[in-house]
Chains A and B, each alone.
Chain A
Amino acid sequence: MAPPLARRQLLLGLGASLLAAPFTSLLRTPARADGGKRARRLLVFFSPNGTVHGRWRPTGGEKDFAFAKGSILEPLAARKSDLVVLDGVDFKGFDNHEPGMNGMLTGQGTLTHEGRGASVDQYIASKIGAGTRFPSLELGVQTSAWGGSRQTRMCYSAPDTFVPPEDSPKNAWTRLFGDLGKKPGEVDALLARRKSVLDVVRADLADLRARVGATEQHKLDDHLDAIRAVEKTLTTPVAASCAAPLAPIDLALQDHKNFPAIGRAQSDLAVLALACGLTNVASIQWTHTVSPTVFSWLGIGDGHHEPPTSRTRTRRGSPTSSRPSGGSPSSSSTCSTSSPRSRSPTAAARCSTRRSSCGPRSSVTVDCTTRSRCHSCSRGARGARSGPVAT
């Protein structure tokens, strides 16, 4: 599944793609902060259930491509020359439904592979994340109603070891910026106390480790590794290059009406964390593979993944079928890709085209809260602040 790209080239493309979002002023400073070297960052952006390939793919060739009017990537047109769009990255023969989530960013690597079973974001974080407060930052939008499982997790530090996303913008904000604003004296005392506490915890871990067999020892070794990672986070002062933004408002995290608002807040936090130098690697995961989300704020009644059902179809006067082409997750994340098994959405669908182009990429709430027609939301989405980060 090697894309015909050098890793460096890919990263450059990704770093630049961030600039396409309307955060240019935020990013300018840290991007040049370390002696004029170009910042190396990764943002993985996942949306489930396939895409509408006719609206996703650029027209033209490898270098002279263009984003057609009304296509998903059109908002990035101004930054086209900085972009590399990947397509057709192979799922390597594994199921793109439930197991696809697990395989998507890991390539189903094992401990004997270069990445030791980690997902590509975690692998890259291990290379470029060490100098930041958070080696990586995983944010989610309604990813976890079904709990943690291979179906709901895309980031892995090792085979089957999830790096779970934070679904709450408020919790994410607290984690990122909660310590900012404390007085230096308070901070020093706090850090010293944390250090001594973690020393005791470490000793307890060692005591317990001596009482258990190999399997549970590995569990405690992981715990000890986690403590070491936390120690770095909790006992070193924050060196962020910006002040904390206002905390996000409380949102009912499971209410699907809040899907656009949560997504927008998480996108803003990811951009701020990157801009403030708190991390170099972030991901935003919109729900999970085989997601049942209903984009009701766009006037759509069916679940994103479900077969068409009765009256919603009739009501909108569109008798055609509704599925986006491809399975799930034929993701549009930066590191992955669309499904190789994609089917062109020919006859299947005006409606699916409309739906998906308004889908998780829309982050406008105002335009779409009424049951307006889908394409009008699409227009709204193009003007939104948190558009997709293109591949």
Chain B
Amino acid sequence: MNPHRLLLAASLLVQACGGGEETPPIVEPCAGDFTYFETKVWQPILSVKCVGCHNEQGIARGSRLVLAAPSDPDAARKNYPVVRAIADTKLGEQSVFLLRPSMTHPDGHPGGNLLPVGSAGYQALATFVRHGEGRCGPDVTAKSCTETTVGARVLRRLSRSEYDATVEDLLGVPSAHGQALPPDVVVGGFDNNGAALRVGPIVAEKLGVAAEALAAATPLAKLTSCADDVTCFVKTFGKRAFRRPLQDGEIARYAKLGDAKTVIAAMLQSPAFLYRPEIGKSDATLDPWEVASELSYLLTGTMPDAALFAAAETGKLATRDEVVAQARRLLKDPRAARAMARFTGQWLYVDRLGAVAKDPATYPELTTDLKSAMVAETQAFVDRTLRVGNGTFRDLLLAEHTFASPTLAAHYGLAAPGDDGKVATGPLRRGVLGQGSVLTVHAVAASSSPIHRGKLVRERFLCQKLPPPPPGVVVQLPPFDPSKSTRERFAEHSKNEPCKSCHRLMDPIGFGFEAFDGIGRARKDDHGHPLDTKGEIVSTDHTDGAFDGLEGLAGKLADSPDAQRCFALQWVRYGYGVDDEPETQCATDRVTTAWAKGGMTFEALVLALVSDPSFLARQGDLGGTPVPDAGVPADDAGASDAAVEDTAPPADALVVTSKRDDYGTGYCDYVTVKNTGASARTWSVVRSPEGAITSSWKSKLVTTATAWTFTGESYNASLEPGASTDFGYCAKR
């Protein structure tokens, strides 16, 4: 700790009230602390993300963080001492100011994880905390956006729909096996998040069953001309299955399986098939095969086609120009409509329409067919407006036509579609927000819902995440009173202070949709009350203000820089499979800028996405262990791994080298065995137990109290002279 401790005025001390939390003696904050607070903490973070609940009337008024509202001209100065005191309050080693909003406090944070550890906002708070400790230098751990802030090297597991699409293209047989997997984890609204999609026991089991069934169903003759020659089959089929050429070790390993069907079953379970590696080379750029997969999954939702593979093979994809050219080509590919549909369905949650439960007595018209027609309308509208028509975000919100089926047009009370499938909507139902799918999903069982529709706009068009109602809040509305309009009933939210602080963000936007009932029909009155569609947007950077009806709301959003940037962010989330700051923030800034330069057309957005550093490069450590077939262990100068001497005497002519990755509570050893003798040898390696083994690979393991004995698997037990193999294991202490 800094030795220059000075007690501040007692007025700055706020008593800690949480168990185990302590307020340490306070050192004088760094010079410029208030300015830092005002410009980096209050304005961009607290006044936007926190004050909604943390104010005198808000839900969190019982917490220590009670802030003056941004409308108070002296808010920053009033809030500074309050926040300074909380920042100085520690639980263990860490400030509660960091623990709470990042959900790392043992008691959680009812408002959710607003500032994930490592996010730009979290770093700003961390710097503020450091200042209070007298640590005034630059925070070397802080990250900020640069031209080259890109994501980490990652393995992206195929999502369920990507799996089915890939299998169908790869094998030429239909597949519903992907859909039978457990539903993918949804992060930021999208089901293709690179960090979230993993292979657990149930997924692995189902993938195994699927692989066998698919292998059995595949007509081999259509796949390759050499299904009888297993090595040839492994090479040719494997290159498409793994979306890159196979290494020699892989070819040998798979050839040993003996027949093509078993090879297919194995490859469909291989991590080389199931994950899209975006690892890159040592210079951080992705290799052309990786880029080919990125492009094709982003734009077509499936594996690369022959032209993309050829561009990877010849190395052309190493240039940005070729990436852009391929993206332009794929945008015109009919399969791109499928990828667009995936984006649209998840962006607006309209893919949930099939599962939306409505009261059949109130809405007998809402049949399964009508639901399907609604989803089809929105998919077609977004695809034809953006991708086919190269439209803009404004077009998406302001178009006065749609592509509804005759039945759906009748449901809306609109004229039947013309020859081009277009249905004129007029301004009152314009754009994607006036479509039945959106209006039906974002409503409740037997009526419209200003809450749900306001939440849709707030979260999916303005990218502001709303916390769930905190515990203990009485969410029960007063009894239904038929003499009141919807707006009057929901006015309870704006009278009731704990509700108001969050519902003011939703309900006033949702009122703008009141001209539509719970299944998207236009209505002339609200159960006998006159319609009132006036609404208001508050607490945004650039979009605040009153509006009237969907027409007014759509107009505001279409021209809102907040909404435009949010749309780019949604594509960053979907396209890159990420939802972590700072990467998304940095990438979104760059993509939005490039999109605007390109005239805000959809093609400009896609080209901005695929030529951004986030698409073409990755940062972070590469693996520190030898790649197979390399034969010799690689040194990883950058890593902190220490090579350890092998504790067991190697057998004659077998040289065993080992490398340890130690993370305190456990470790992993990566072991290479090389036969330097003159004849073939079968190897075994004995280790003294240290902890308990949690996993091992490429070896058979026998454990006793005094020895862990590793021997080779069928494919690597015997080493020819000069040959080497590797195996490894992890243990916890």
Contact = CB atoms under 8 A, between A and B. Distances in A.
Interface stretch (B26-34, B48-56, B176-184, B393-401): B176-184
A188 interface: no
B13 to A, nearest CB: 25
Interface in B443-487: 444-447, 449, 468-472, 474-480, 482
B329 to A, nearest CB: 30
A327 B191 CA distance: 28
Contact of A210 (B257, B357, B670): B670
Contacts of A379: none
B203 interface: yes
A312 B198 CA distance: 43
Interface of B is mostly: loop
Given A147-B184, A207-B249, A217 B476 contact: no
A95 B110 CA distance: 6
Interface in B331-357: 352, 354-357
Q: Which of B108, B208, B368 has the most CB of A within 10 A?
A: B208
B697 A205 contact: yes
A124 interface: no
A309 B447 contact: yes
Interface string A127-143: 00000000000100010
Interface residues of A, number: 98
B359 A99 contact: no
B359 A213 contact: no
B108 A312 contact: no
B201 A95 contact: no
A366 interface: no
Given A204-B250, A206-B697, A308 B479 contact: yes
Contacts of A308: 477, 479-480
B468 A98 contact: yes
Contact of A301 (B195, B201, B445, B714): B445
A6 interface: no
A126 interface: no
A208 B247 CA distance: 12
B471 A210 contact: no
Interface string A329-366: 00000000000010100001000000000000000000
B476 A230 contact: no
B7 interface: no
B253 interface: yes
B359 A312 contact: yes
A194 interface: yes
Interface string A299-322: 001110011111111110001110
A94 B728 CA distance: 41
B695 A224 contact: yes
Interface in A169-184: 171, 174-175, 178
A91 B182 contact: no
Contacts of A209: 623, 625, 697, 728
Interface in A273-311: 290, 292-294, 296, 301-303, 306-311
B359 A296 contact: yes
A96 interface: yes
Interface stretch (A14-22, A33-41, A159-167, A239-247): A159-167
Nearest to B273: A204
A28 interface: no
B645 interface: no
A229 interface: yes
Which among B202, B275, B626, B716 has the highest number of chain A CB atoms within 10 Å?
A: B202
A201 interface: yes
B185 interface: yes
B271 interface: yes
Interface string A146-164: 1111000000010001111
Interface string A178-198: 100000000000000110111
A108 to B, nearest CB: 7
B665 to A, nearest CB: 8
B354 to A, nearest CB: 5
Given A206-B726, A206-B727, A213 B355 contact: no
Contacts of A206: 628, 697-698, 726-728
A185 B275 CA distance: 34
Given A99-B108, A197-B257, A229 B479 contact: no
A213 B622 contact: yes
Among B182, B211, B352, B625, max chain A CB count under 10 A is at B182
B622 A323 contact: no
B249 A310 contact: no
Interface in A207-234: 207-217, 219-230, 233-234
Interface stretch (B138-146, B261-269, B537-545, B565-573): B261-269
Interface stretch (B147-155, B219-227, B421-429, B581-589): B147-155
B695 A303 contact: no
A23 to B, nearest CB: 25
A204 B625 CA distance: 14
A296 B477 CA distance: 22
B366 to A, nearest CB: 12
Contact of B199 (A166, A167, A217, A226): A226
A196 B714 contact: yes
A203 interface: yes
Contacts of B272: 204, 208
A146 B471 contact: no
Given A310-B482, A313-B480, A210 B726 contact: yes
A306 B155 contact: no
Interface in A94-115: 94-99, 108
A200 B257 contact: yes
A58 B207 CA distance: 46
Contact of B360 (A219, A293, A296): A296
A148 B262 contact: no
A255 B356 CA distance: 8
Contact of B277 (A197, A208, A226, A323): A208
Contact of A371 (B107, B271, B361): B361
B445 A309 contact: yes
A104 to B, nearest CB: 13
Interface in A245-289: 254-256
A199 B699 CA distance: 9
Given A206-B698, A310-B480, A303 B727 contact: no
B185 A162 contact: yes
Contacts of A321: 476-480
Given A201-B269, A203-B253, A308-B479, A148 B186 contact: yes
A386 interface: no
A60 interface: no
Contacts of B476: 307, 321, 323, 348
Given A210-B626, A214-B621, A302-B446, A311 B695 contact: no
A254 B355 contact: yes
B369 interface: no
A377 to B, nearest CB: 16
A289 to B, nearest CB: 9
A301 B119 CA distance: 43
A251 B356 CA distance: 16
B271 A204 contact: yes
A164 B202 CA distance: 8
Contact of B204 (A164, A230, A312): A230
A175 B202 CA distance: 10
Interface string B687-711: 0000000110110000000000000
A204 B208 CA distance: 15
B262 A307 contact: no
A327 to B, nearest CB: 7
Can you list the 6 inter-chain pairs with the closest CB atoms, starting with the nearest?
A: A147-B186, A145-B355, A301-B359, A164-B182, A226-B204, A254-B355
16 contacts: A144-B183, A146-B186, A148-B186, A175-B209, A193-B262, A197-B208, A209-B697, A210-B623, A211-B277, A221-B694, A229-B201, A292-B445, A294-B357, A296-B361, A308-B477, A314-B480
Given A234-B205, A314-B480, 5 more contacts: A144-B182, A206-B698, A254-B355, A314-B482, A321-B478
